[in-house]
Structure formats: C-alpha cells, structure tokens
Structure 1
Amino acid sequence: MNTFGILGFPLGHSFSKKFFTDKFTKENIDASFLNFELSNIQDFPTILEQHPDLKGFCVTIPYKQDVIQFLDDIDPLAERIGAVNSVQIIRENEQFKLVGYNTDIHGFTESLRIFLDGAKPKALILGTGGVSKAVATAFEEMDIEYQFVSRTASDKCISYEMLSSEVISNYHLIVNCTPLGTFPKDDTCPDIPYEYLTKDHFLYDVVYNPAETLFMKKGAEKGAKTHNGLKMLHLQAERNWEIWNR
C-alpha cells in the first residue's frame, strides 16, 4: 500500500489527513495518509527508514524552510520562494530521491483571483514565514505591489507599530500569514489597527480553522470583504496529489 503524509509540529490542527483519507475512500484508492509530527527536524530521516512505501508528503509549519536541507533536488519556483510544502519521493531499486515543490503559491493565487474579482489593490503581508514567501511570489507574478509586516522593522519589513491610518488607506489587501487565530487559540489575531479598515478593504486569512477567524470578524465589522484559507488548501492539496503521482 502506498503511503503519504504530512510533516510538521504540532499537527493537531492539520487539514491534510482528513482531506486525503476522505479522498482515498471516495475514489477507492488503496493508500494511507499519516501525520509525521516531529519536534525536531533532525529526526526526519527516521521517517524514511520506517516507511519504505512513502511516496510523498506535505510540509507545514515550522519546517517549510528547514526541510530543504534534506532534499536532493528542488523545483525552481520553490527555490525562488525559499520554502517547500510538498515533497515527492522517487524510488528506484534501493535508492530514493527527494524533490521539493511549493504548491502554496498555486492554491493562494487561484483562490485570490476569485476573491478579488478583478481588483488589484496594494497588499500588506502579515508575517515572514514560509507561506508569506509564497504569497509574495504570487503577488510578483500578479504584478501586485506588497509590503511585509513583522513584529520588528527591517530593510524588508515594517513593524505593526508603523501601521498608521495612512498606510492602511494605501494598502487595501491584507493577508494574514501568521498562525494567529488558529484553533484552539482562536481568540488571537494580528495586531493591526482594525479601526482604519473600510468597505474597500480585502482581508485574506490563510488560517482555515476556525472558518471565520478573529482577524476576519474584526474586518467584517468594518465592512471589509473577508476570505479564509480553505479554498487555498483544497487547491494546493490537489496539486500535491498530482506531483506525488507523476
């Protein structure tokens, strides 16, 4: 039986196991999907040793960048982004090759096009982790101007304290790429000045559980359009499946 899985820590919130287990049942696919919850990425090689039938796996927080050190090859787009969220395992005889891809950009881009419905606002990216790099690359491909926001200002980022009414009025798309608001800590949200939001703003949260995060609720209260990360996950999951079965 072929095995697939997801690598990350923690994985209690993971969407992937249910998605693929349901897919295998509905489509009568003889395969299993496992959670590889590692507190230390250096333990990753043991997964390959213990699961010789493993054909591919997703990568989630906090290992989208750390997993790259174990790969034999990386897709040019994933290399450009600097983050991998999907790994294909190519096995020949007793040897295997690990190839990294980034499907976050596909899921985000396609779901964002639907959400914006032709609009092309300037964007703020909240957070600087692996998914934020995919979002930034998507914006470059879509010719959308963007600005990173982090807790500490740097050459590439402004800080949350710098989000004035003027900044918020100039950037009408705000994407939450932090884990803030994810169940069970769904009473948290990025520290932005929600009072400056208007009906002209678009708030996209890559978090999908809960379906409406506090970030989205606060935006909706000001009339902003909101969108969660579920559609993005469905799109990237199907792209993962295509990659693993090439």
Structure 2
Amino acid sequence: MRRFGLIGYPLGHSFSGKYFTAKFLCEGITDAGYELFELPDIADFPAFLRQNPGLKGLNVTIPHKQTILPFLNEIDPVAAKIGAINTVKITNGKCTGFNTDYIGFRDSLQNFLQELTAVKALILGTGGASKAVQAALQELHIPFKIVSRNPENGQLSYAELGPEIMETHQLIINTTPLGTFPNTETCPEIPYQNLTAKHYLYDLVYNPEETLFMKNAMEKGAKTKNGYEMLVLQAEAAWQIWNS
C-alpha cells in the first residue's frame, strides 16, 4: 500500500482526505491510501518521517508551507522562487518540495475571470498561499498589491483601502484563513461598501462553501468564487508529481 497524506495544524477543515479517498475509489486505485496528520510543530517533521517510513508523498498546509523548507533535501526551482511548499515527494527517504498551489490557483482564476482583461488585483495576506498567488498573477501578467496587517516593503495596510484603490483593483483575493470552519463569522476587514458588480472576489477558503467574505461581496453584486476548484487542481498536480 502506497501511503500519502496531509500535514498541518489544525486539519479539521480539510477536504483533502475525502477528495483523495473518493478519487481512489472512483478510479479503481487499490494500492494507495491518504491520511491526515496533525503536526503542530514543524520541528517534529524528521521524527514524523521516521515514524512513517512508508510515506510516498505529502501535501502541506497552514502553518507549515514556509517553515518546512529547511527540512527538505531538494526544492523544485519554481517552488524555491515562490518560497513556499505545498507538496512533498518522498523517494528513498529523501524529500523534494514542490508548489502546486500556484498551478491550481492560476488555472482556477482563468476559469473565473474568463474574458476579463486589464484587471488589477489586491492580495489579502502574506503567508505561503499568498506567495503562490503572487507567482500565478505574475505568470498571468496581472499587476497586484499586497495587503497586510503589518505592511512592509510597499505593501498596503487595510486602513489604506480607500474608494480609489478599491475602484481601480477589481480582483480581490483572500489568502488568509479568515472565515475557515469553524470560525465562519470572521472575514478580512476590507471596505465592502465600495464593492460593485465589476468586482471579482476569490476566496482560497473552501470550507464553508460560501464564506462571509463572499457573502459580503455578493450583497454588492460582485462575482465570487471559493477555493474548491483550486484544491482539486492542485491535488491533481500533486498526484502527477508523486507518480512521475
């Protein structure tokens, strides 16, 4: 049995286990299994690997997408440039890090925007998921500004999101965990009153299906999308890496 799994903390919100279990059943894959491994401290990663010698691959989620880097034997050049890892391939005890988040987000965003061109984006958050989103937007030639609670190096604070910035940035992407189950009553503090039907709001959160971030946007006529399609696309890209 080939073993795969997800590391992060906490994992109660994750759909990855259900997704891969359903995939294996649907596609008749009988020699593989997928497990969730809650790992509060990334310093325990080497011990975790010793305790699970049969692992062939891992997905990595909050809060370890950046802190896992020093524990890897090799890093894919694209992932190294992004500075965040969400997929690990394990071969003969050696771990190689990849980033499929940017692939999943890039392809999902293109489906969302369709014919929309000349758009500018605001990226809410600065963590590992934000770095993947930045890489995807750069590849798609979409200019963006990063919004942070503690802005630095040209980033914007949430207090700076006035009417002019909101009007000129039609695409707003939430890369923070705000609104994730079970804390569904939270959302990024942007001026929702300045949203219009011309805005596109993408929430990387997929549980719940409709976040407060999305609900606030829909009340103003904005178009919204959650992160489930991104989850599927990044998972399929990870599966290809594990089996290549």
Normalised by the shorter chain, which TM-score bucket? over 0.9
Task: Say if 2:50 is the partner of 1:52.
Answer: no
1:195 aligns with: 193
- What is the root-mean-square deviation of aligned Cα atoms in Å? 0.8
Length-normalised TM-score, structure 1: 0.96
CA distance in 1 between counterparts of 2:211 and 2:13 reads 14
Q: Secondary structure of the residue that 2:14 maps to in structure 1?
A: coil
Please, which runs of 5 or more residues in structure 2 have no aligned partner?
Answer: none
1:11 aligns with: 11
Task: Say if 2:63 is the partner of 1:62.
Answer: yes
1:118 aligns with: 115
CA distance in 2 between counterparts of 1:182 and 1:192 reads 17
Task: Say if 2:15 is the partner of 1:42.
Answer: no
User: How far off its partner does 1:214 sit?
Assistant: 0.5
1:219 to 194, 217, 220: 217
Q: Summarize deviations over 1:165-212 as a string: whole Å, max 9, x none.
A: 011001000000000011111111000000000000000000001111
2:101 to 104, 124, 136: 104
User: How far off its partner does 1:27 sit?
Assistant: 2.1
2:24 aligns with: 24
Q: Secondary structure of the residue that 1:158 maps to in structure 2?
A: coil
CA distance in 1 between counterparts of 2:198 and 2:24 reads 41
CA distance in 1 between counterparts of 2:68 and 2:151 reads 27
Q: Once superposed, which parts of structure 1, at least 4 consecutive aligned residues long, lie more than 3 Å away?
A: none
CA distance in 1 between counterparts of 2:205 and 2:45 reads 26
Code of the aligned partner of 1:97: K
1:208 aligns with: 206
Q: Summarize deviations over 1:191-245 as a string: whole Å, max 9, x none.
A: 0000000000000000001111100011011010000000000000001100011
CA distance in 2 between counterparts of 1:223 and 1:181 reads 20
Length-normalised TM-score, structure 2: 0.97
Q: Secondary structure of the residue that 2:68 maps to in structure 1?
A: helix
CA distance in 1 between counterparts of 2:108 and 2:39 reads 30
Stretch of structure 1 that moved more, 223-232 or 27-36: 27-36
Q: Summarize deviations over 1:16-41 as a string: whole Å, max 9, x none.
A: 11111111222222221111111111
Count of matched residue pairs: 242
Code of the aligned partner of 2:74: D
CA distance in 1 between counterparts of 2:120 and 2:183 reads 29
Stretch of structure 1 that moved more, 165-174 or 22-31: 22-31
CA distance in 2 between counterparts of 1:190 and 1:52 reads 40
User: How far off its partner does 1:131 sit?
Assistant: 0.5
Stretch of structure 1 that moved more, 206-215 or 27-36: 27-36
Please, which runs of 5 or more residues in structure 1 have no aligned partner?
Answer: none
1:169 aligns with: 167
2:129 aligns with: 131
Alignment of 1:72-111 (within 5 A): 72-91=73-92, 96-111=93-108
Q: Summarize deviations over 1:20-67 as a string: whole Å, max 9, x none.
A: 111122222222111111111111112211222100000000000011
Code of the aligned partner of 1:136: Q
CA distance in 2 between counterparts of 1:42 and 1:137 reads 27
1:239 aligns with: 237
Sequence identity (%): 56
